[in-house]
């Protein structure tokens, strides 16, 4: 009720999906096409948790260019959530991480790598990755930093959960629910090699069956048919 927006039907479906996964203890990828309101759906989830009487201590990790956009969206759609953007000198960021009481903290992937020590012992209710394809390389420092965070609920938002390689999907799931798609070696043997190199349709169906409940993707042409072509 505190959301300052009228959700479209597909966004209400997205909110219900996020809430169901959250309540069941799972994570997921909100993979809607660009421009369909992934941010407002995520903010609605946090407001729902708050109105249900649960404490909210959420961390959004996004590209630095989107930090102030996230703050603007939070102020516009969810003004009842206290919000803090981690910017400026490292000392100030670390103090805010350790002592800040904001319900929503917003940092960037680069800052997270530099500040990771400040997060030791810190547990969030939610960690939300925006443009989550940023962690597609599981061996990168950014991916390792994100996966070191402690949170009760983890969600990823990206319109491109797979850009080039199937291993990118594994890396995002390794953040969401570590071990669900096995370790990478087993994932590669069971899915990546048979699907990519051998065209194994049964392996593809098996992987689809495992990940489909945890990925919600709507295309603009399917849900906003009143919009003209680009």
Residue-wise DSSP of 53-121: T----EEEEE-GGGHHHHHHHHHHH-TTS-EEE--S-HHHHHHHHHH---SEEEEEHHHHHHHGGGGTT
Encode 76-109: b = buried (16+ Cβ within 10 Å), e = exposed: ebbeebebbbbbeeeeebbebbeeeebbbbbbbb
**77 and 47 in contact (C-beta within 8 Å)?**
no
In this prediction, residue 224 carries a pLDDT of: 80
Question: Of 49, 65, 50, 22, which Cα lies nearest the Cα of 216?
Answer: 22
Pick out the chain residues at pLDDT < 50.
none
Structure confidence at residue 171 (pLDDT): 97
The Cα 106–Cα 218 span in angstroms is 26
Structure tokens at 168: 């990118």
* Distance of alpha carbon 170 from alpha carbon 161, whole angstroms: 10
pLDDT at 228: 62
Residue 222: the pLDDT is 87
Query: pTM score, two decimals?
Result: 0.94
Residue 230 confidence (pLDDT): 60
Residue 189 and residue 196 in contact, taking contact as beta carbons nearer than 8 Å: no
What are 32's two structure tokens? 């809607």
Return the pLDDT at 229.
Answer: 65
Q: How many helices (H) and strands (E) does the chain have?
A: 10, 7
């Amino acid at each position: 009720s505190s959301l300052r927006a009228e959700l479209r039907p597909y966004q209400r479906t997205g909110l219900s999906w996020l809430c169901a996964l959250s309540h069941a203890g799972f994570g997921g990828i909100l993979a809607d096409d660009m421009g369909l309101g992934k941010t407002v759906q995520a903010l609605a989830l946090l407001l729902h948790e708050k109105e249900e009487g649960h404490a909210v201590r959420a961390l959004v990790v996004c590209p630095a260019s989107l930090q102030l956009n996230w703050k603007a969206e939070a102020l516009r759609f969810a003004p009842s959530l206290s919000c803090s953007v981690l910017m400026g000198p490292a000392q100030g960021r670390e103090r805010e991480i350790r002592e800040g009481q904001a319900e929503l903290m917003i940092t960037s992937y680069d800052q997270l790598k530099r500040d990771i020590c400040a997060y030791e012992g810190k547990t969030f209710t939610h960690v939300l990755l925006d443009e989550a394809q940023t962690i597609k390389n599981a061996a990168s420092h950014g991916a390792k930093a994100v996966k070191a965070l402690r949170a009760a609920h983890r969600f990823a938002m990206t319109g491109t959960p797979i850009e080039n390689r199937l291993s990118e999907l594994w890396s995002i799931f390794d953040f969401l629910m570590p071990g669900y798609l096995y370790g990478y070696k087993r994932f590669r043997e069971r899915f990546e090699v048979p699907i990519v190199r051998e065209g194994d349709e049964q392996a593809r169906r098996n992987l689809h069956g495992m990940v489909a409940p945890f990925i919600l993707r709507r295309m603009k042409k399917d849900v906003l048919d009143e919009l003209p072509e680009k």
